Amino acid sequence: MVGAVERFDVLVVGGGKAGKTLAMDLARSGATVAMVERGMIGGSCINVACIPTKALVTSARAARAVRGADALGTVVHGSHLDLDLLRAHKEDVVDGMVAANRQQFLESGLHLVIGAATFVAPRTVRVALPDGGTRLISGDRAVINTGTRPYLPPIPGLPEAGVLTSDDLLRLSRLPRRLTVLGGGTVGVEFAQMFAAFGSAVTIVEGGPRLLSREDPEISDAVAQVFAADGIDVRTAVAVDRIDRVPDGTVRVVTADGAAVDGDVVLVAVGRAPVTRELDLPAAGVRTGERGFVEVDEYLRTSAERTWAAGDVAGSPQFTHASLDDYRVIRSQFVGTPRSTTGRLVPYTVFTTPELARVGLTETEARAAGHPVRVVRLPVAAIPRARTLRQTTGMWKAVLHRDTDRILGVALLGAEAGEVVTAVQLAMLAGMPGTALRDAMITHPTMAEGLNLLFAQLAPEPVR
């Protein structure tokens, strides 16, 4: 039976990064806030995405470190992978963060409703509760933050072949001897490399011409070289015709040229689809685009009055920090000093080993935008800290405005690149030219010190 409508100042549908942060923030400042969450306390990042994968990347790096330990003077005998311990490590990290989120929800005073929401009217949802009951919840304002799910492409045979998604593979019930990864994007490369480090024989089947297609070709090539050195079979520009499960349990990916890639497990990592279909958004007056993402303007306003969308579902860049920034954009409208998503600098790090960290424009994008471009590059082996770490693989690349030395973007492939990139991002936000990083005194020996070397290639002041 459905009770009366419960009314709140704010209704948040889906507790992803933007939604939960906004809900807690507004609740702390005295608003009545209901957040409806289907079941993942803390959203996908901490449950099935960033956090568990990065916990496993740490394990993969530990495995690599053990293999390379003799070069550092420690000879290790008899190491092996223990899947139970590996899973326990990942679950401990995830459980700790879920518990911390639950506690923060409680302390903030937000009203958490566990159940699946469907719109029945503008800013009003019916919630299907786990016990079979139903609640009707309405907000004076509503925010949709329901995220995405793995996209399954319409490849013949795929539904019957028992392929896995990142959610499935993270459960780690067994280590596949042969893993085929469909898609050489961010999810694909991170999983491929970690499973290769755990001992699986990994093949990547990528439809496009190269791995990590949003990068400059030389960066994709550098990543491909790392993968080749790790023994990963990377096949690019491959069209998949069908996927079959053959009688011995092998999952066979058959490509258009008739070749077969056999695996015990196929991970499908070809992008993500928005969680919108089951929300009945037309009932809320919220329009979606062709691919199902919620249509929003630069203030993340939907087509419905006093209704916003945030994070992946709103078509924002698919990163947790972008979703967090969406929270800031929406909050700014509630406090009367609106900011928009226009012109945001969206950095990201691909957690391969070594990491690939990016901010700003690629060289390809900068040229396409008509900027007069200057490019400087640095082999990571030139950075003293890389030598002491014995992690000399990689290259750094910076794209600058030729006339002003304004930094347009960087791609850093190398150890600790995800940490170093923030220094460049802050310089870009502050409007500092590349020469400022050339001339800044940076701690020696750190990876960040490489910024001195990278930008040293810009013209020095002439000696008079």
Ligand X SMILES: NC(=O)c1ccc[n+]([C@@H]2O[C@H](COP(=O)([O-])OP(=O)(O)OC[C@H]3O[C@@H](n4cnc5c(N)ncnc54)[C@H](O)[C@@H]3O)[C@@H](O)[C@H]2O)c1
Ligand Y SMILES: Cc1cc2nc3c(=O)[nH]c(=O)nc-3n(C[C@H](O)[C@H](O)[C@H](O)COP(=O)(O)OP(=O)(O)OC[C@H]3O[C@@H](n4cnc5c(N)ncnc54)[C@H](O)[C@@H]3O)c2cc1C
Query: Binding site, residues?
Result: 54, 183-190, 206, 271, 312
Helices (H), 314-433: 320-334, 363-368, 384-389, 417-429
Q: Containing H/E element for 192?
A: helix 186-198
Interface mask toward ligand X for 270-309; x: CB under 6 A: xxx-------------------------------------
Q: Are 451 and 424 in contact (CB under 8 A)?
A: yes
Binding-site annotation, residues for FAD: 54, 312
Longest dimension (CA), the chain: 86
Q: How many residues bind ligand X (CB under 6 A)?
A: 25
Residue 77 catalytic? no
Question: What distance in Å separates the CA atoms of residue 409 and residue 211, rounded to the nearest whole number?
Answer: 20
Give the nearer residue to ligand Y in terms of CB position, either 90 or 385. 90
270 binds, among ligand X, ligand Y, none (CB under 5 to 8 A by kind): ligand X
Q: Which residues are annotated as a binding site for NAD(+)?
A: 183-190, 206, 271
Q: Which residues, 147 to 166, sit near ligand Y by CB under 6 A?
A: 147, 166
Binding segment (CB under 6 A) for ligand Y, from list 10-18, 97-105, 135-143, 226-234: 10-18
Number of residues interacting with ligand Y: please give it, by CB under 6 A.
37
Q: DSSP letter at 106?
A: H
Q: What is the phi/psi pair of residue 120, to 5°?
A: -120, -15
Give the residue from 146, 122, 120 showing the smallest Cα distance to 315.
146
Note whether 19 binds ligand X by CB under 6 A: no
What is the radius of gyration, based on Cα positions, of the chain?
A: 24
323 binds ligand Y (CB under 6 A): yes
Q: Is the peptide bond before 52 cis (omega within 30 degrees of 0)?
A: no
Cβ within 8 Å of residue 57, ≥6 positions away:
190, 194, 351, 353
* CB closer to ligand X, 252 vs 401: 252
CB 7 within 8 A of CB 138: yes
β-bridge pairing 348-350 and 148-150? unpaired
**Among ligand X, ligand Y, none, partner that 18 touches (CB below 5 to 8 angstroms by kind):** ligand Y
Residue 288 touching ligand Y (CB under 6 A): no
Q: Would you count residue 355 as binding ligand Y (CB under 6 A)?
A: no
Q: Return residues touching ligand Y (CB under 6 A).
A: 13-18, 36-40, 43-45, 49-50, 53-54, 116-117, 145-147, 166, 187, 275, 278-279, 311-313, 318-321, 323, 351
**Which residues does the annotation mark as catalytic?**
444
